[in-house]
Amino acid sequence: MKFPYGISDFRKIMSQGCFYCDRTDSIPLLEQGEYLLFLRPRRFGKTLLLSMLANYYDTAREDEFRELFGDLKIGENPTSLHNQYLILKWDFSCIDPFGTARDIRQALHDHINSRIRRFTAYYKDRLNMETDIDPYNALNSIESMVTAARMSSYPVYLFIDEYDNFANEVMMGARREKKKLYEALVYEEGPLKTVFKAVKSSTSESLFDRIFITGVSPVVMSDITSGYNIAENIYTDAEFNDLCGLHEAEIEAALKKITGECGLDDQDADSAASMMRTYYNGYRFSPDAETLVYNPSLAIYFMKAFQKTCKYPRKMLDANLAADEAKLRYVSKIPRGSQMLMDMMKEDHQVVISELADRFGIQEMLKDQSKDNIFMASFLYYFGVLTTEGETSRGNMKLKVPNLVMRGLYVGRILRMLLPKPAERDDGVLAAKQLYAEGKIEPLCEFIEQKYFQVFRNRDYRWANELTVKTAFLTLLYNDILYIMDSEKEVRRGDTDLTMIVRPDMRRFDIFDVLIEFRYVSLKKAGMTGEKARGLSRKELGKIPDVSAEMNSAEEQVRKYGDALKQKYDKIRLRQYAVVSLGFERLWWKEIGEI
């Protein structure tokens, strides 16, 4: 079995017998619309989808139809439109978004012209007249090309991939010069807007029979609405929830083949499936969709590494997706954005909004007063760091972090947000290593008292309780190379605060499994000031009645959850701790051993 990591050429995948999950049964549904807009996060298989559709509709591929589609679902009952089109494809990710507005305009026109040249060369036997290429104005080239196509007996299907590539570059920079550059591209008679106006005009004259556009967010479409207001948005339609994305059953079948090749058994396949489910599963793009899907790039990244070495990849997050952390950095700089990210650290926390924002342009993105919860949640949804969880009883949408690998991005962003100095972060991570490598929690607690609590005292976080303290520990302890990290793992119908279970493939290392239960006592409840709390010895801290009571409660919970974990996991080397925080001033901790 070949796993096509980074390959988005459908014809190449099929001819080489690569792993492919068949979505061709969606073609009849897609044909019900003529001008479609389909959004998905980065590296979610959009380009492969376009490649599949292009091969299906391409009149020049008619002789290859049985070879490419004969074994797929659509091959059993193809639609009447298969192999009936001339295919024109633009890929805006190929266009250099840097330089002046004039430079980018020329790059855009050069790209369109190059694709028209390719189009005319590819279909030279089907076109009855020459196409004139205007090197300075691709709109004239488009007019000439569609006129030539009109003189033939074939309609044109236009595919535009990564249509919003320009906006994504501007969003993350948000510098004044970039804002002006973007406005020059999309507003009034900007080159991007005029291109889409030309495309729209061509549809009204039946020159482009069908159009399929993919991208990540609706930002550009919002800004060019008057230039292209015919797009039918299908990205939240339940029937297209899995148009890009893998089902769990498809992954399980592939893992069984891999374990067979590796000489492993069904239990190993089940363990690998459990590992992938924990880290990768959880995307739902429509509140009405019944099944969750996996990011295909992440899934193939894991399976290809597993097949090659018969071991799981060390890093569960594909480095090519790590750039999504920039989206969280953008949100963290928005007023109330940092609080939203902190809130997402609560297990099963949901963001409830009335609806997704499907019309927000760059002006809204660059103005603080426009960034409410709906904006921030929608932005994170489009970029794949939030996903839909369903609907409330009152019809609102629920969004949540989709899986553990995305939660890792949140953890990393919060760590950088709270401890911006690299040296301090290094010191904190070093203190955390002493906990899981040597069983010493004292260095970590002291670091949090000295560094994190100073930050917390200076910021007004809504959850001024054990969640905030737990977040501090989690940001420093998070390590998906060695551990399955879970901030509130369900055990015996209860929730522990922080559970670190050594990954099955990492049990060869001399490290501990860790369980920590947190409690919080406010200064007001304890009846003291922050200055007084900072002056207490550890012994005096433990004698405060409310602190002592919370410690006793935490100890009881730790023992109960620890026993359940020992029954669930084989070969577990569990170290158990209870931590009580007195405001954002002091920590009192205990290692909880056997009774």
Whether 130 and 173 share a structural domain: yes
CATH of the domain at 218: 3.40.50.300
- Same domain for 230 and 282? no
Residue 492, both tokens? 């015996």
Q: Are residues 454 and 538 in the same domain?
A: yes
Euclidean distance between CA atoms 432 and 547, whole angstroms: 24
Residue 13: pLDDT above 50?
Answer: yes
pLDDT at 493: 40
Q: Please, are residues 478 and 408 in contact by the beta-carbon 8 Å criterion?
A: yes
Looking only at the bridges linking them, the beta strands covering 387-391 and 586-591 are: unpaired
- The answer on pLDDT for 119 being more than 80 is yes
Domain of 310, in residue numbers: 248-314
pLDDT band at 178 (very low <50, low <70, confident <90, very high): low
pLDDT at 495 over 70: no
Choose one of 222, 240, 258: the last residue of a domain: 240
Q: Determine, yes or no, domain membership for 224.
A: yes
Confidence band of 375 (pLDDT split at 50, 70, 90): confident
Q: Which amino acid is at 435?
A: L
At residue 355, the pLDDT reads 86
Q: Which two tokens stand for residue 220?
A: 């550009």
* Residue 72 lies inside a defined structural domain of this protein: yes
Residue 219 pLDDT grade (very low, low, confident, very high; cuts 50, 70, 90): confident
First-to-last C-alpha distance (Å) of the chain: 52
Cα–Cα distance list, 250 to 10, 256, 421 (Å): 18, 10, 44
- Sorting pLDDT into bands at 50, 70 and 90, what band is 377? confident
pLDDT at 371: 61
Domain assignment present for 282: yes
Mean pLDDT of the chain: 88
Report whether pLDDT(67) > 80: yes
Q: Classify residue 4: in a domain, yes or no.
A: no
DSSP notation for 29-44: HHTT-SEEEEE--TTS
Question: Would you state the pLDDT for residue 404?
Answer: 87
Query: Do residues 397 and 387 lie in contact, with contact meaning Cβ atoms separated by under 8 Å?
Result: no
Q: What is the pLDDT of residue 492?
A: 46
What is residue 132's predicted lDDT score, i.e. its pLDDT?
Answer: 94
Asked if 263 and 235 sit in the same domain, the reply is no
CA–chain centroid gap for 526, Å, is 42
Single-letter residue type at 139: L
Whether residue 473 is found in the same domain as residue 395: no
Cα–Cα distance for residue pair 138/132, rounded to 1 Å: 10
Distance CA 211, CA 196 (A): 11
* Structure confidence at residue 153 (pLDDT): 83
- Asked if the structure places residue 166 within a domain, the reply is yes
Is position 1 within any domain? no
Q: In CATH, what number is assigned to the domain containing residue 329?
A: 1.10.10
Domain identity same for 118 and 194:
yes
Residues 435-471: pLDDT tens digits?
A: 999 999 999 999 999 998 888 876 655 555 677 888 8
Proportion of the chain above pLDDT 90, given as a percent = 57
Q: pLDDT class for 183, splitting at 50, 70, 90?
A: confident
Domain boundary among 287, 314, 341: 314
Phi and psi torsions of 402, nearest 5°: -70, -35
Q: Find which of 49-53, 170-174, 469-473, 502-506 is predicted with most confidence, using mean pLDDT.
A: 49-53
Q: Is the pLDDT higher at 246 or at 208?
A: 246
Let me know whether 52 and 24 are in one domain: yes
Q: Are residues 234 and 339 in the same domain?
A: no
Predicted local distance difference test score (pLDDT) of residue 466? 72
Give the C-alpha separation, 337 to 327, whole Å.
11
Do 63 and 34 lie in a common domain? yes
Q: Which two tokens stand for residue 130?
A: 């020459």
Q: Is it the case that residue 334 has pLDDT exceeding 50?
A: yes
Q: Do residues 181 and 167 share a domain?
A: yes
Instruction: Note whether residue 51 is domain-resident.
Output: yes
pLDDT exceeds cutoff 80 at 503: yes
The three-point CA angle 457-461-464 to 5° equals 75
pLDDT > 80? residue 235: yes
Q: Work out whether the CA dihedral 428, 429, 434, 435 comes out positive or negative.
A: positive
Question: In the structure encoding, which two tokens stand for residue 461, read together?
Answer: 């976080």
Domain membership of residue 5 (yes or no) is no
Average pLDDT rounded to a whole number, residues 144-157: 89
Long-range contacts of 469-472 (CB under 8 A, 24+ apart): 469/518, 469/520, 469/579, 469/581, 469/587, 470/345, 470/497, 470/498, 470/516, 470/518, 471/342, 471/345, 471/414, 472/418, 472/448
Structure pTM?
A: 0.89
Please tell me the distance from the alpha carbon of residue 117 to that of residue 136, in angstroms, as a whole number.
14
Tell me: pLDDT of 576 over 90. yes
Q: Which of 418, 448, 464 is the last residue of a domain?
A: 418
Number of separate domains in the chain: 4
Residues 6+ apart with CB under 8 A from 308: none
Higher pLDDT, 293 or 219: 293
Among 103-107, 194-198, 316-320, 571-575, name the one with the lowest average pLDDT: 316-320
Pick the most confident of 201-205, 249-253, 364-368, 414-418. Answer: 249-253
* Residue 486: predicted pLDDT: 67
487 pLDDT tier (thresholds 50, 70, 90): low
Do 426 and 402 share a structural domain? no
Rounded CA-CA distance 29/238 in Å is 12
Of the two residues 374 and 267, the one the predictor is more confident about is 267
Say if residues 400 and 386 touch (Cβ distance below 8 Å).
yes
Strand arrangement, sheet containing 351-353:
351-353, 397-400, 387-391
Shared domain for 106 and 182, answered yes or no, is yes
